[in-house]
């Protein structure tokens, strides 16, 4: 019988420092083979809006192979359901047998947050103490915890479209060792933040780049489609731009695709991807006044690393 690793098991076994270092090693070594993920938008007539199917395979030759199948339904908040749902299948890459199934939603949340924290370890200032979280979805709490694993965060500012959800997020973090403040406007949070993490399904920019301060780091996690944006043109023009991987960022996210199509930025303006940073083939933050911008679109390597780590911990 194939074992299913559920949300509770995943959450109880995750350790951000360990996962971050596993990811750093995997990005540096590049042993994992990752085809371009399948991205299919499909009609969803009851919502008068498209949903998305993502298929993300990856394998470490002779060791492990994994495939994530995920649906993204942007209006699911109206039904008190997560927008991202799916399953992860982990196989033995030697003999082809299926080792386990994992809850993809939880796996995705933790590996995404760990990847943002990994990028932050290269791009944010080492003394960053104040984190602003824009968005109150499933990723929000884990992004906050992941960033706090690599920087001395002692204050978290939360903004969400729904103030009640922002207050609910605050309550889930009440036992964490930092002060938490819910703000009414994004602008009021930006002026005090060292790191700004944004994870939303916004189709229009939320962050006004003219308000950014020298030395800030932007961690842009949402905007997973070419018609979505979380950051405006000034955010990009004022920042040193980094991505998790070129192939996905140049194709899938409006935060990069739209300003490139409009000639606001060029391909050469993207300084490095995580593979280069982790191999020390490129430099991250160069000085304390630099504004850094990291765009995460997700990479199947991250899923495979996280899934194999969890499988190890439950002795599979």
**Which pLDDT value is given to residue 263?**
94
**Which pLDDT value is given to residue 288?**
95
Is residue 206 within 8 Å of residue 230, measured between CB atoms?
Answer: yes
Is residue 18 within 8 Å of residue 313, measured between CB atoms?
Answer: no
The band of 252, judged by pLDDT with boundaries at 50, 70 and 90, is confident
Which residues of the chain are in CATH 3.40.50.720 domains?
124-297
Closest C-alpha among 228, 297, 237 to residue 266? 237
> Does 16 have pLDDT greater than 80?
yes
> Does 30 have pLDDT greater than 80?
no
- Sequence-ordered list of residues with C-beta below 8 angstroms from that of 204, at least 6 positions apart, any chain: 229
Per-residue pLDDT tens over the stretch 84-104: 889 999 999 999 999 999 999
> Does 285 have pLDDT greater than 80?
yes
Q: Which residues of 60-98 are buried (b: 16+ CB within 10 A; e: fewer)?
A: beeebbbbbbbbbbbebbeeeebbbbbebbbbebeeeee
Domain 3-107+301-313 belongs to what architecture?
2-Layer Sandwich (3.30)
The HSE-up count of residue 21 (CA atoms within 13 Å, CB side) is: 5
Domain 124-297, CATH: 3.40.50.720
Per-residue pLDDT tens over the stretch 107-160: 999 999 999 999 999 999 999 999 999 999 889 999 999 999 999 999 999 999
**Which pLDDT value is given to residue 74?**
86
Q: What average pLDDT does range 190-219 have in this prediction?
A: 95
> Does 262 have pLDDT greater than 80?
yes
**Which pLDDT value is given to residue 247?**
87
Which residues of the chain are in CATH 3.30.1780.10 domains?
3-107+301-313
Mean of the per-residue pLDDT values of the chain: 94
């Amino acid at each position: 019988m194939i074992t299913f690793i559920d949300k509770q098991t995943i959450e109880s076994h995750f350790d951000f420092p360990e996962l971050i270092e596993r990811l750093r090693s995997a990005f540096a070594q590049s042993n994992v083979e990752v085809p371009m993920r399948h991205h299919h938008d499909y009609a969803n007539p009851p919502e008068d809006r498209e949903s998305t199917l993502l298929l993300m395979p990856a394998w470490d030759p002779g060791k492990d192979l994994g495939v994530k199948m995920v649906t993204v339904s942007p209006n699911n908040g109206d039904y008190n359901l997560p927008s991202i749902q799916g399953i992860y299948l982990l196989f033995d890459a030697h003999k082809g047998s299926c080792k386990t199934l994992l809850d993809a939603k939880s796996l995705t949340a933790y590996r995404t947050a760990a990847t943002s924290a990994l990028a932050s370890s290269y791009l944010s200032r080492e003394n960053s103490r104040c984190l602003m979280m824009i968005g109150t979805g499933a990723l929000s709490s884990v992004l906050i915890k992941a960033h706090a694993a690599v920087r001395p965060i002692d204050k978290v500012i939360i903004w969400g479209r729904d103030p009640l959800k922002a207050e609910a997020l605050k309550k889930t973090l009440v036992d964490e060792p930092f002060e938490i403040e819910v703000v009414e406007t994004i602008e009021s949070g930006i002026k005090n933040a060292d790191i700004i993490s944004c994870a939303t399904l916004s189709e229009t920019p939320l962050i006004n780049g003219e308000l950014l301060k020298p030395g800030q780091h932007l961690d842009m996690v949402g905007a997973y489609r070419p018609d979505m944006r979380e950051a405006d043109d000034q955010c990009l023009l004022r920042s040193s731009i980094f991505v998790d991987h070129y192939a996905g960022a140049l194709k899938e996210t409006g935060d990069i695709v739209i300003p490139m199509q409009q000639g606001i930025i060029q391909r050469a303006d993207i300084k490095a991807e995580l593979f280069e940073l982790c191999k020390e083939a490129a430099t991250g933050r160069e000085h304390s006044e630099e504004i850094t911008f990291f765009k995460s679109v997700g990479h199947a390597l991250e899923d495979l690393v996280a899934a194999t780590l969890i499988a190890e911990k439950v002795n599979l």
